[in-house]
Every structure is written in structure tokens, then in C-alpha cells.
Structure 1
Amino acid sequence: MSESEPRLLDLRLLPFAGICWAATLIGILGGSRAAWMLLATLSGAAVLFAAYCALRSPRRWTAGTLALLLFGSCCAAGVAWRVQAAERHPMAELARNETWVTLVVTHVDDPREIAGFGRHVLVNATVVEIRRAGETIHAGGAVVLLAPADGWLGLLPGQDVVLRGQLSPPRRRDLSLATVRVSGPPVEVGPAPAHQRWAGALRTRFAAAAAVLPADEAGLLPGLVVGDTSALPREVKDDFTATGLTHLTAVSGANVSILLGAVLLMVRGVGLGPRAGAVLAAAALIAFVVVARPSPSVLRAAAMGSVALLALVTGRRKQAMPALAAGVIALLVWAPELAVNFGFVLSATATAGLIVIAPVWVDALVVRGWPRAVAEAVAVSVAAFAVTAPIVAAMAGIVSLVSICANILVAPVIGVITVTGAITALIAGISVPVAEVVVRVTQWPLWWLVTVAERGARIPAASVPVPSGPAGAVLVLGAVLAIGAALRSRGTRLVLVGIAIGVVVLWAPIWPSSLGRLV
């Protein structure tokens, strides 16, 4: 094998992932009619192309094109069937009429408090039964509950709940059947599965151990490790949004990559073989998914993080790109609603940036004399910003101008916090007092993270509003491409370095006051 071969990208699965995503997106946003039309179009194209190939001598690309058309037809058929099932579900008519019903539902994830909506929570659930006027309908499907926090906030995923609520059409086109407005506590609550009781107890004990830290750090640590932001102050959330660090407070592929990387390093350190390492990494991944909750977003992070780790550990983008495409296909088949989920789009594009762009930029910086560790930190942060900024603009209508600097500044402490936090969580399951001692190791790194977010958000024009939706995405994408083209000029690079130094100077005067809070 030549030295250059691992650097090549194997893109053969990429069109299959693209057509799967496109077919799913068209079906969910356009409805079953659009999905059936797409199926007819792709199937017809496949038949015509097969006839063409039969009359002509086959070439290398013909088999791949025919396979792509047939695969797209299968994806369109699958999403058409699922969308049509949602459109014809018994709850669809009841939701259009805003009917009051009694439901039996199963929680999918933890109730989440809604900012600015009083003491109310949002709960993703799956319908088990619909009870109305003496009639019981057994029919599954996804619903979103809007309920008062009292009686709902402490419920665990997997619990069956009986409730009385008013149906209304879903707020988003994502295969959910209805939005259910609940005015009171649950009528009945069933027991949680054993593994969710264990996970809930571990999360509670971990939060109790983290409570010995200052309030901001105590609320942040569970969010960084297991995605539990229930105790994170609103001010800290806002600061993380303004500085482009919000991805750290949610379960992301970065969490998974760091944890699995730590497991693999431990395996190598004790001299275990690759098979034992794979088993231990798989066990750690399963345990992490259970503790962080096996919601679609967590499973998406697990898949993307595993792919990212593959790229970093093997150094072979040729293997990582097919793994990313296969992961996207598997996730969309299992949960088609991810096609319209901004978190999924951000994860997939950020992982692709890590695989495709970051290694090239790392090599370019190392050739110019940069230390490899610094080059990797800068390249990963810049690549992630470049590929995700247009998506963030479309989603939130805002672009953080300090995101790159903020992510570079906090990069050295994220691994320490994640690994130490995970160890603390495991110890908390056995002894909270011992965990309270171990968790203090994270205080300085957490202080640094909170301070970077806090002070970065105070910089003038730290974040800039842009049009949301496609217009904002196109505007920011154009700006990113223009900056990329301008960077080919040495003079422009010097100007940008000067701007970065200016940002650091603006940050500098406020470090002493922040240090006083830690001391």
C-alpha cells in the first residue's frame, strides 16, 4: 500500500447517503403524495436505465448508477409508507378537531423545562392507547406533550403514563402525530425499566457530587458529560450560545469520541488486544447511551462520534467516509425524522468536516512549522465553524464571531472535563462522598470554560444577527467562501491574525475578576 492511499477519500457510499436523505426529506416535508411521486420517478428511471444498459455494452459507472436508482426507490417507498401511516393515523383527525382524549403514552426522554413558558415541560413520547368515549384504540406513534412541571419533571424514560389532554396538530413536520396540551399531573404512572432506574439514580448521584462545585460549574458538568442541563443557569446557556459553545452542553459526537478514545488508551496501556479493546469500547458506548438516554439525538451522537474516532485513531479518511455515509443511512432508516433535525445536520456536517477538511489543514499548518497539537486544535475548530456556520445561521439567525477563538481556547480542557467527569459519575454510583473529592479535579477546567464563555459573550459584536432560513445560510456560506478565498493572500492572513489578537486583548482585562470568583 502506498503512503498516499490512506489519504484518498472513498466516496462511493456518499451518493447513497445523499439520495436516502433527500428522499426522506421530500417525504416528510412534502407528504406521502410527494414521496409516492418520487418513488414512481426513481423506479421509472431505473427501468429505463436498465433497458438502456441492456441495449448497450455496460460500463463501469452503469451498475453503480442503477444501484443508486434502485436504492433511492427503496428509500422513497419506505418513507412514503411511514408518512402515509402518520397521515391516516386515528389521532390525525382528532388533532385537527382539537379533541380532548385520554392517552397512555411511554416517555422517550426526560421532560425538559421550556424557557419563558412558566413552569412547563416538553416531553417526547410514544402513544400506546387512545381512549375516547368508551372506545380504546391501540395505535402507536410519536407525540409531543406540553405539560405543567409539577408531577412531570421527575419522570423517567420508559415509564408508561396515563394522561388527559387536548390534541392539536403537530408544531413541526417530523412524523409526530400531534401536540398534546396537558393541564395537570399524570392520572397514572407506571414503573420505569430497570436500566432507566439505574441510569436515573446514577445521574442524580452524579449531580449531587457535582453540587460541591460553584453553581455555574456544578450545573455545567452534568451537561458536558451526560447532557443533563437541568441545573445549568440560564445566563451560562446564553453565554454559550453567544460564543458558539452550545454544542458542548448537549450530548455530541465529541463526547463519544473523547470517552471511547480514553477507553482505547486504557486498553493499550494495560496491554490488552484489539478484540478486548473493541468489546470494552462497545460496552462503554452502550453504558453511555443508557445514562445519557437512548433518544434519537444521543444515538446520532454515538454514531457520529464513533465515526469521528475511527478517523482520528486510524488516520484513514478512506475508511471513515464510508462509515459516516453508512451511519447516516442507518440512522435515517431507523428514525426518518432525523432528516429534518438541525442537530443531525450539524453532527453529520461537522463529522464530515473533521474527516475531509481538518486533516488537510493540519498537514498544511505543520508544513509551515506549527506544532502538531496547536495545528490540530486550530484546524478542527476552524473546519467545524466553516461547515456548520451556514446551518446555525439558518437555524438560529445568528453567527458567533468569537466561536473559533472560544473553541480553540477551551479545547485543551474539554477532554479533561469529559474523562474526569465520566470517572466521577461511575464513582458516584458507588460512593457520593468519594465522588465529591474526585470531582474537584474538574473545578479549574470548568472555571476556564465558564469564564471563556462569559467574557467572550461580553465582547462587542460577539454574535451577529443574520436572516434565518435559506437566506441566512446562503449569506453566511458566501461569507465563509469569500474568507477562504481571501486567506490565500498573505496580507489577508496577517489581517485576520491581527483581528484574533484584538479579540484576545478584549478578553484579557476581565480575567482577574473571573479568577477572583474561583479563588
Structure 2
Amino acid sequence: MSLTATFRSVEPDSRARRDLRLVPILLAAYVAAFIGDGFTSHAALILWAACAAIGLALLLRSGIRRRGMWNAQRSGINQAADHTSARTKSRRRTLAAACFVAAGAGTAATTRSIATHTGPLPRLAAAHAQATVEAVVTDDPHTATSPRGPFAVVPLRIERVNEYRTRLPATVLASDPDAWQFLPSTRIRVTGRLRIPRGDGTPDAATLSVHRPPDVLAGPNALQRLAGRLRQGLRDACAHLSADPRGLVPGLVIGDVSQEPASLSTAFRDTGLTHLTAVSGENLVFVLTAAMPIARLAGVRGRFLTLTGLAVVIGFTVLARPEPSMVRASVMTVLGLLLAAVGRRARGLPLLCAGGTLLLLFDPWLARSYGFALSLSATAGLFVLAPGWQQALIDRRVPHHIAESLACTAAAETFCLPILVSFTAAITPLSLPANLLAEFCVGPATVLGAGALLAAAVWLPLGRAVAWLAQWPADGIVAVARYGSRLPGATVAWPDGLAGALVLLGVYALVFLISAAIAKRKEAS
């Protein structure tokens, strides 16, 4: 799928009727969640109580002004100011809602941060203590390497440490990767040494180093077993392919990059194609686009069609694993389906803001996730910039499909680039042409890869045959990435961190001012 899939799935907002009311609410939730995740003292909760108090005061003042305006209307006074008063009241209510959301997100983030840095588990981790834990595996294990050899990295949620009950995320680092191939939802018991996790960009409360296999207390649930069989079926169907398509096809379909060669990952990064193997709204739109017409042909109508869509969203999220970008796409899709069920058309920017705000209230750590930030930014670019850029290209007689692809790719890249340079310290000038060339192959490779997944679930030889077909468009994507990464200037060094992002935003502002000046001169002439 291409970036245009997400763009077409909702109604883009034109500049004349763009609804920005939820934008300050999303920004308030994001900032409060980001700040609150750094507090480890209960005193910080006073700040969020103050935010809630300000919101309540604004709301009460809006109600008082509303009653005053109604009385004035009854007496025939101040009729000319009705429109201005209504706008002021709307802004005050939006600000009040932003204060309430900031208070909720900040409180949730601070409470979570306090739990992550205090209590039995963090204390034992700070002491490098030996502990026995009971935990639930939350994501697929993967294998990493170190000078001492390969080791397994297993995300989990610890529910008991020694005699203490808890419920905090952690990561196991196991010296025997083969003994840790568990599906999510598997419940285990293991003894190891607790440590404080390295780096500030992790939600984990501890890291557990172990050197022996765990005791399995309970196997995965039925849904995870089904998802595991489907994922393994796709890997088996692609096993006979050469290294690049063998790693790429599962990545395109379900985001499984466990077999992707390191050199191919580097080529994708150098050409701005990494997003192709990060499952998000593009993949989900493809699945719904295929599933919903089939449901209609089967006679499903009304609320049952909505329930079918919700089931597809939940099932695909479990299959592709709930990464931040996937969760954002799923929530937006669920909201869109619910709006459609009550007869309302989903509009892009309000839907994005509503979904992002709900997620930050539910899991405030997402404010510190690069994947979530990039997903929000790319989608916002599609809804804010792409419609105008597409129309400008069409006005210059660029074919519609090419104009749409150019506008969507450039808009998403423009919004994502300040975040990308902050941690990659590089700009990829070839990203736009590489994405445009790869787009011709992404759709066929994704469709055939999904067909291979379904066929392998029925009969593995059939799945292998479909996977063999999928390798041809996949090879086209590989050719674009590998050839582009070898070109001079594929990556340009740039300052990293906040400084790099601010410098890039300054360049954006300069380009905007120059463009505005040129446009003004043309109008004057």
C-alpha cells in the first residue's frame, strides 16, 4: 500500500472548512503526557489539579456569559455582538476542554511515572537484586547480538516479583534465544537479576537478565495462537525465496522484519523507505478495503457490517502486533467506523486529533514514542498539506494519480522530517523519488503477500506459489532501495536532537516566506 491509501480512506478537509477545534486539545494532551512522564513526585499532581481548576473556571465563565447574552437578547440589547460572543464562547470552551484533557493526561503520566520509578520492582532493580518474577509476554521475542553472542530480547509485563504484586513493563535479556520463542499472552515464571533499564526512551521499569529457560505457567490464548500460526505460515511460504524478498514480504504484510537482512534495512533507511515495513494505517486500510466488499457481497448490512469492520480491525491489530503506529491507525479506524454507523462522514484532522487524544489519555507513555510521533505527523501531513499541494499540481496539468502520489509523499515527509533528524542526524534527499518509484511495486507486493498468508493457512504449497509471485514486485522495491542508497548524496548529515529539529523548522519558515513573497509579487504584477 502507498501513503495515498490513508489519504483516500477519510474525507480530506479543505482549507475553507478545516476543523481545527480539536488540534489544541491534542497538543495539550501531548505536552502534558510528555511532561508528566518525567515527574516522580506526588507533588506534581498539584500542577494537574490546577489545570483542571482553570478548565472549570473557564467553563463556568462561559456558562455565565451565555446566560448574560440570553438576557440581553430578550431585552433587545447587544444584538450586533451575538456572532462575536458566540466565537468567544466557543474558544473558551475549547480552552477549557484542553485544560481538562491536559489534567487527565498529565495525571495519568505522572501516576505511571511514579509507579515505574518507585515500589518493589524499581527498588530491586536499583539494587541489582536476584528475583523470581511471574510475567506475561507482551510481544514477539527477537534476537540481538553482542560480543558474547546472540541473546533474546523479550518484552513482558511483570505481575509478581518475589512476594510483591505489581503490574509494570519490563524486558528479559536471555542468553539462550531458542528457549524463549513464546507467543504474546504466554504466562511464565523465571529467576534472574534485575537491573535499571538503560536510556530514558523506554517505558520499562526494569531489565531482567536470565541464563536459564523459564517455567511456562499458561500458554497463549486462542487469538494469539491463531495469529502465531498465520504469521508462521507466511514465513514458511516465503522461506524458499532469496534473502531480500524473504525478509521484505512479511514486513510489507504484517510488519514482521525478523528475517530482513541488515544491509536491506540500511538501504531502506538511506532512501526513506523504512515506513514500508512499519505496519500502520496503510496496511489496515488495505485489509478493510478488501474485507468490507466481501462482507457486503455475503449479505452483511447495517450494524452487523460495522461489527464486521470492528472485528477485522481487532483481528488485524493482533496479527500485526500493536505497535504505536498500528494502535493509532486502529483507533482512528474504529472511530471512523462508529461515525459511519451513525451516518456521519469521517473527516481527517478531527479524527486524527480525537484518536490521538484518546490514546494519550489511555497510555501517556506514547508521548515519548518516536513511532507514535511519526505516525501522527505523517497522517497530519496527509490531511493538512496534501490536498492543497495535490490541487496545485493538478492545476499545472500534472496527471491526477501522479499529483496525488507526489502530494501525499511530500506532505508526509515534510511533517516527519523534523522528528526524524532529531534522532537520525541525517536527511535523505532521495526519499521523495524513492517512494514514488517504489509505490508502483508496493501495492502488488502487499496484495500478493496477503494472498500468500491466506493461502498458506489453507495449503502451504499454494502459499509458496503465491509468495513466489509476490517476490517480483518485492524485488522492484529492493532495487529502488539498494540502488538509491549507493548514489552520492543519498544521506546528508544534519545536527541531531532538538537543535537539528529547530534548524530544519527555521529552513521551513524561510522557504515559506520566500514562497509567499514570490506569490505576492506575481499577484501584484
Q: TM-score when scaled to structure 2? A: 0.83
Query: Of the candidates 4, 10, 18, which is equivalent to residue 19 of structure 2?
Result: 10
Residue 162 (1) aligns with residue 189 (2): yes
* Partner SS for 1:176: coil
Q: Which runs of 5+ in 2 are unaligned?
A: 1-11, 70-84, 520-525
Residue identity matched to 1:127: I
Q: In the aligned structure 2, how far is the partner of 1:79 from the partner of 1:425?
A: 39
Instruction: State whether residues 143 and 180 of structure 1, in contact with CA within 8 Å, keep that contact through their aligned partners in structure 2.
Output: yes
Residue 469 (1) aligns with residue 497 (2): yes
* Partner SS for 1:18: helix
Query: Of the candidates 34, 41, 50, which is equivalent to residue 50 of structure 2?
Result: 41
Instruction: State whether residues 7 and 317 of structure 1, in contact with CA within 8 Å, keep that contact through their aligned partners in structure 2.
Output: no
Match of 2:450 in 1: 422
Match of 1:128 in 2: 159
Measured after TM superposition, the shift of residue 489 of structure 1 is 9.0
Match of 2:170 in 1: 143
Instruction: State whether residues 304 and 348 of structure 1, in contact with CA within 8 Å, keep that contact through their aligned partners in structure 2.
Output: no
- Greater shift after overlay, 417-426 or 265-274? 265-274
Q: In the aligned structure 2, how far is the partner of 1:307 from the partner of 1:404?
A: 31
Measured after TM superposition, the shift of residue 153 of structure 1 is 4.5
Measured after TM superposition, the shift of residue 284 of structure 1 is 2.4
> Cα deviations across residues 203-232 of structure 1 (Å, max 9, x unaligned)?
111111112322210111001111111111
> Cα deviations across residues 79-127 of structure 1 (Å, max 9, x unaligned)?
3333333333211211111111111111100012235563123221101
- Greater shift after overlay, 344-353 or 162-171? 162-171
The 1:81/1:188 distance shift into structure 2, 3 A limit, reads same
- Greater shift after overlay, 413-422 or 116-125? 116-125
Residue 236 (1) aligns with residue 264 (2): yes
Measured after TM superposition, the shift of residue 77 of structure 1 is 2.7
Match of 1:384 in 2: 412
Q: In the aligned structure 1, how far is the partner of 2:51 from the partner of 2:190?
A: 44
Residue 111 (1) aligns with residue 141 (2): yes
Query: Of the candidates 2, 5, 22, which is equivalent to residue 31 of structure 2?
Result: 22
Instruction: State whether residues 257 and 306 of structure 1, in contact with CA within 8 Å, keep that contact through their aligned partners in structure 2.
Output: no
Measured after TM superposition, the shift of residue 320 of structure 1 is 1.9
1:34-433 to 2 correspondence within 5 Å? Answer: 35-46=44-55, 49=58, 57=68, 59=85, 60=89, 61-114=91-144, 118-131=149-162, 136-171=163-198, 172=200, 174-188=202-216, 190-264=218-292, 266=294, 277-303=305-331, 319-433=347-461
Instruction: State whether residues 394 and 468 of structure 1, in contact with CA within 8 Å, keep that contact through their aligned partners in structure 2.
Output: yes
Q: In the aligned structure 1, how far is the partner of 2:458 from the partner of 2:502?
A: 51
Q: In the aligned structure 2, how far is the partner of 1:466 from the partner of 1:305?
A: 36
Measured after TM superposition, the shift of residue 271 of structure 1 is 8.4
> Cα deviations across residues 225-283 of structure 1 (Å, max 9, x unaligned)?
11111111111111111111111112122211222233345567888757565444333
Instruction: State whether residues 424 and 438 of structure 1, in contact with CA within 8 Å, keep that contact through their aligned partners in structure 2.
Output: yes
Instruction: State whether residues 205 and 429 of structure 1, in contact with CA within 8 Å, keep that contact through their aligned partners in structure 2.
Output: yes
Q: In the aligned structure 2, how far is the partner of 1:362 from the partner of 1:115?
A: 45
Instruction: State whether residues 23 and 38 of structure 1, in contact with CA within 8 Å, keep that contact through their aligned partners in structure 2.
Output: no
Q: In the aligned structure 2, how far is the partner of 1:277 from the partner of 1:250?
A: 28
The 1:375/1:186 distance shift into structure 2, 3 A limit, reads same
Instruction: State whether residues 38 and 110 of structure 2, in contact with CA within 8 Å, keep that contact through their aligned partners in structure 1.
Output: no
The 1:389/1:269 distance shift into structure 2, 3 A limit, reads farther
The 1:182/1:349 distance shift into structure 2, 3 A limit, reads same
Residue identity matched to 2:403: A
Q: In the aligned structure 1, how far is the partner of 2:96 from the partner of 2:47?
A: 16
Instruction: State whether residues 158 and 192 of structure 1, in contact with CA within 8 Å, keep that contact through their aligned partners in structure 2.
Output: yes
Measured after TM superposition, the shift of residue 478 of structure 1 is 2.7
The 1:474/1:265 distance shift into structure 2, 3 A limit, reads farther
Q: In the aligned structure 1, how far is the partner of 2:295 from the partner of 2:385?
A: 29
Residue identity matched to 1:144: T
Match of 2:40 in 1: 31
Residue identity matched to 2:26: A
Instruction: State whether residues 35 and 79 of structure 1, in contact with CA within 8 Å, keep that contact through their aligned partners in structure 2.
Output: no
Q: In the aligned structure 2, how far is the partner of 1:112 from the partner of 1:287?
A: 22
The 1:16/1:430 distance shift into structure 2, 3 A limit, reads same
Instruction: State whether residues 307 and 320 of structure 1, in contact with CA within 8 Å, keep that contact through their aligned partners in structure 2.
Output: no
Q: Which runs of 5+ in 1 are unaligned?
A: 492-519
Residue identity matched to 2:19: D
Match of 2:5 in 1: none
Q: In the aligned structure 2, how far is the partner of 1:300 from the partner of 1:409?
A: 27
Measured after TM superposition, the shift of residue 144 of structure 1 is 1.8
Q: In the aligned structure 1, how far is the partner of 2:409 from the partner of 2:374?
A: 14
* Partner SS for 2:489: coil
The 1:483/1:65 distance shift into structure 2, 3 A limit, reads closer
Q: In the aligned structure 2, how far is the partner of 1:263 from the partner of 1:490?
A: 48
Instruction: State whether residues 103 and 130 of structure 1, in contact with CA within 8 Å, keep that contact through their aligned partners in structure 2.
Output: yes
Residue identity matched to 2:159: V
Measured after TM superposition, the shift of residue 38 of structure 1 is 2.4
Match of 1:497 in 2: none
Instruction: State whether residues 360 and 366 of structure 2, in contact with CA within 8 Å, keep that contact through their aligned partners in structure 1.
Output: yes
- The count of aligned residue pairs is 481
Measured after TM superposition, the shift of residue 406 of structure 1 is 0.6
